[in-house]
Chains A and B, each alone.
Chain A
Amino acid sequence: MTPTTKDALREFSDNLKAVPRRVMETAFRTGPPTTDRTRSTFVFGNVFLHLHAVRTHRWSLKWTTTMGLGIMSVSAFLIALVTGVMLMFYYKPYPEAAYESIKDIHFVVPTGRLIRNLHRWSANLMVVAVILHMARAFYTAAYRKPREYNWLMGIGLLVVTLGLSFTGYLLPWDQLAYWAITIGANIAQSPREITDALGITDYFDPGGFQRLLLLGSDMVGAEALIRFYLLHVMILPLALAALMGVHFWRIRKDGGMVRPADADDQLFRQPREEALPIFTEAPAKTYHLAAIVRGRTSNVGRGPENTVPSMPHLFYAELGVLMVTLLVCLALSLVSDAPLKELANPSVPENPAKAPWYFLGLQEMVAFSAFMGGIGIPSIVLIGLALIPYLDRETEGTGRWFGGPGGWPLVRLSIVLGLAAPILIESFVIRFGWLREWFPSVPQLVITMLNPGTLLTAVYAFFSMWCIRRYGSTRAGALALFTCFLCGFLVLTIVGTYFRGPNWVFYWSPSEWPKH
C-alpha cells in the first residue's frame, strides 16, 4: 500500500514538531540524566563533560576540600576571555588611537564601561583565586605523589596569569600604563646591575636583550604596544589554555582531588567494618587505555564506595561557583570603575607611579634593588615553589589542612614570624635608611647582594631550615617557608599600596601626601 499525499504531509508535520525533542535526544543520546546509568552516559558521552569522572568522591565535594578556588580561577578566566574578546572589537593597538579607543569604550560604547569593568575585575579576581588555589593545594599537601607534575603546571599557570595581568596593563596607553611598562621593561634590563658591576655589559648583556625583546625598540612606543597586545590577546591566553588543559587532564590521571587516607572512614556514619562494600574485590586492572598503555590506573584498589554521580552533584557545585564568581565580578563592576589616567606623557612620570596592587610588593622590593627585587628574589621564590613536591616526599598529613609535622601550631608561629620580619625590616629602613645613605660610595654589587629584600629572604630561609631540623621533616620547613612567603607578600603589598606616597616616601595615609 502506498502512502497517500495526505499521510506523507502529516508525517512531515509530525517530524517537524518533533524536531526540538529529537535534537535534544540526538545531542545527549541517552535521555534525561535521571538514573545512575544515564547520569554516567551523560558525562562520558559528552566531549566537554568527560573531562570529569563519572562519579565523584564525596570528600572532593566537601566545601573545605577545595573551597571551589580552582573552578573560581577558571570562571574568572572565562569571564575575562568573553569580555576581552568584546573589548577587542573596539580597541585599537596604536599609540595614537589606543587611549581614545579606551575612552570610547568607557564613555560611548553601549555597556562598554560595564564590559571593561568586568574584564578588569575578573582579571583581579583571577589573580586572587590563583594565589589562594595554590595556597589550598599547598596546605593540604596536594602536591605530593602522584601530583608533583601538576603542581609544576600550576606554577606555570600562576606565571602566565601574572603575565596576562601585566601585559593588559599597558594597553590603555595612559600615564599609569606607560610608566608601569617603562619600569617593567627596565626590570627586564636589570641584569645590567650585575654585568655593569662586573664591567662585562659590552660583551654580555642579557638585560639589554630582554628589554629589546619586550619593547622591540629602545623606547616604549608603537612596537612595545603591539608586542604587549599580541602577548595579551594571543600568546599568553593560548599558553594558559594549553597549561589548563594539561592541568585538568592530570587531575583525572592523578586520581582526582587529594584526600586523606582515612577519608572513607571519616565519611562513613557507622564504622567501616559494618558497611557493605559494593565490590567484593576492588578494581585491579593493571593497564590503561585498551591494553595499549601500560601502568596501573589511579583507580586501582579503589571501589566506588562513598562516590556520587558527577551529574548533578559535581556539575551543579561547579556551576554554583561560576555563578558566584560572575555575581562578585558584576557587583564590583557596578560599584567601581576601572581606572583611566591622563594620556601617556613620556616626559613626566606619575607621582607616585604605582603598579597594580599584586605587583606593589614587587615594586617595594625593586625600591631596594632592581635586579634582586625584580628578577633575583622572584626567581628564587618560583624555583623554591617548583621544588617543593620534589623535596617533600613524606606522606604524613596528605589531604588534611595544615597536615604534616608541626601542623597548625607551626603555621601559626610562621605567620607571626612571617609578618614580624618584614614589618621590622621595613620600619628599620624607613627610619634609618640603608647602605647608600650611610656610605655613599659603597659598591652597587654590595647593595645588590645585601639589601632589605635579600635580608628578608635570608631570615625566611634560616627559619625554614631551623624548622626542618626542629621537626625532622622537610614538610615542616615547607610549611614555614610558604607561610612566611605569603605573609611577606602581604606585608610588602600593603606597604606599597597604602604607605607609599609621592617619590615613594613613607606616609601614614594618603591624606598626608603633599599637595601639588
Chain B
Amino acid sequence: MTTQAKAPRSRLDPEPVPRRDWLGLSSLWAMTGALLFGLLGLLKLPKAAVLASPSKKFKVSLPDVLPVGEAFVPPGRAVAIYKDSGGIYAVSTICTHLGCVVKANAEGFECPCHGSRFSANGDVTKGPAPRALPWLKVSVSGGAVTIDEGVVVPQGTKVA
C-alpha cells in the first residue's frame, strides 16, 4: 500500500493517521480476545469448589401423634412435614418469591415478607410468588424418616 507523503502541517495540527497500522490493531484485538477469554475463566471464581453448606439430607423423628393437617417443622429447618391417610409428605417452606420462610397455618402457608399465600398443598393463592412451594423427597426406612431438601418430587407424592 502506498500513500502520498505530505509534510506535517505543524506540531499542534499533525497529519491524520493515513492508514491503519495492521500490526498494532491485530495485537490490540489479540489482547482484547485474551482478556475476554480470561474473563470467562474469572466467571468461575465467585463459586467456591466446595460450598460450605450443611447437608441437605437430614433425619427427623416425627412426634408420636401428628394430627392430619398439622405441620411438624423440625427445629432449624425450612420444611413442613405432614402425615395423613396417604402417608408422610414434606413441603418446603422457603417462599418461591424472595426466599423468606413461610409460616404454616390452618389454611396453608403465609409469607411475612411480601404477603404471598399458599394453599395447604403449596399452590399460590395470593401475592407475588411465581411458583408453588415444592414438595421434597421423603424416604421412610424402619421408623426413621429422611428428608432430602435437594430433591423435588411431584405434588401429591406421599410415602407410607
Contact = CB atoms under 8 A, between A and B. Distances in A.
The 5 closest A-B pairs by CB, nearest first: A504-B115, A351-B112, A367-B114, A186-B98, A186-B99
A172 to B, nearest CB: 19
A497 to B, nearest CB: 15
Interface stretch (B47-55, B82-90, B138-146): B47-55
B113 A212 contact: no
B12 A182 contact: no
A294 B128 contact: no
Given A216-B46, A219-B53, A349 B113 contact: yes
Contacts of A179: 100, 113
Contacts of B46: 209, 212-213, 216
A218 B53 contact: yes
Nearest to A371: B130
A187 B47 CA distance: 19
Nearest to A185: B99
A297 to B, nearest CB: 16
Size range of the interface on B? 20 to 34
A278 interface: no
A478 interface: no
A313 interface: no
A352 interface: yes
A516 B23 CA distance: 74
Contacts of A369: 128
A493 to B, nearest CB: 16
A217 B48 contact: yes
A275 interface: no
B78 interface: yes
Contacts of B126: 433, 436-437
Contacts of B77: 347
A196 B78 CA distance: 22
A502 B105 CA distance: 14
Interface of B: 12, 43, 46-48, 51-53, 75-78, 97-101, 110-115, 123-128, 130-131
A218 B100 CA distance: 14
Contacts of A197: 130
The binding surface of chain B is classed by DSSP as loop
Interface centre among B110, B113, B114 (most CB of A within 10 A): B113
A347 B52 contact: no
Contact of B115 (A182, A212, A448, A505): A505
A15 to B, nearest CB: 49
A82 to B, nearest CB: 32
Interface string A327-362: 000000000000000000011111111000000000
Contacts of B53: 217-219, 221
A18 interface: no
Contact of B112 (A212, A363, A368, A504): A504
Interface centre among B75, B123, B126 (most CB of A within 10 A): B126
Contacts of A437: 125-126
B112 A349 contact: yes
A223 B78 CA distance: 21
The binding surface of chain A is classed by DSSP as helix
Contact of A504 (B101, B114, B124): B114
A183 B113 contact: yes
Given A196-B130, A217-B52, A366 B112 contact: no
A141 B107 CA distance: 55
A505 B127 CA distance: 10
Contacts of A291: 12
A179 B98 CA distance: 10
A247 to B, nearest CB: 28
A368 B128 contact: yes
B99 A436 contact: no
B76 A347 contact: yes
A193 B129 CA distance: 10
B130 to A, nearest CB: 4
B58 to A, nearest CB: 13
A370 interface: yes
Given A196-B130, A368-B128, A370-B97, A352 B113 contact: yes
A444 interface: yes
A502 B123 CA distance: 21
A378 to B, nearest CB: 15
A347 B43 CA distance: 31
A503 interface: yes
B92 to A, nearest CB: 13
Interface centre among B47, B98, B124, B125 (most CB of A within 10 A): B98
Given A349-B112, A349-B113, A440 B130 contact: no
Nearest to A504: B115
Contacts of B125: 436-437, 440
A183 B100 contact: yes
B98 A349 contact: no
A190 B131 CA distance: 12
Contact of B113 (A217, A353, A373): A353
Contact of A212 (B47, B100, B101, B127): B47
Given A182-B99, A186-B98, A370-B130, A217 B51 contact: yes
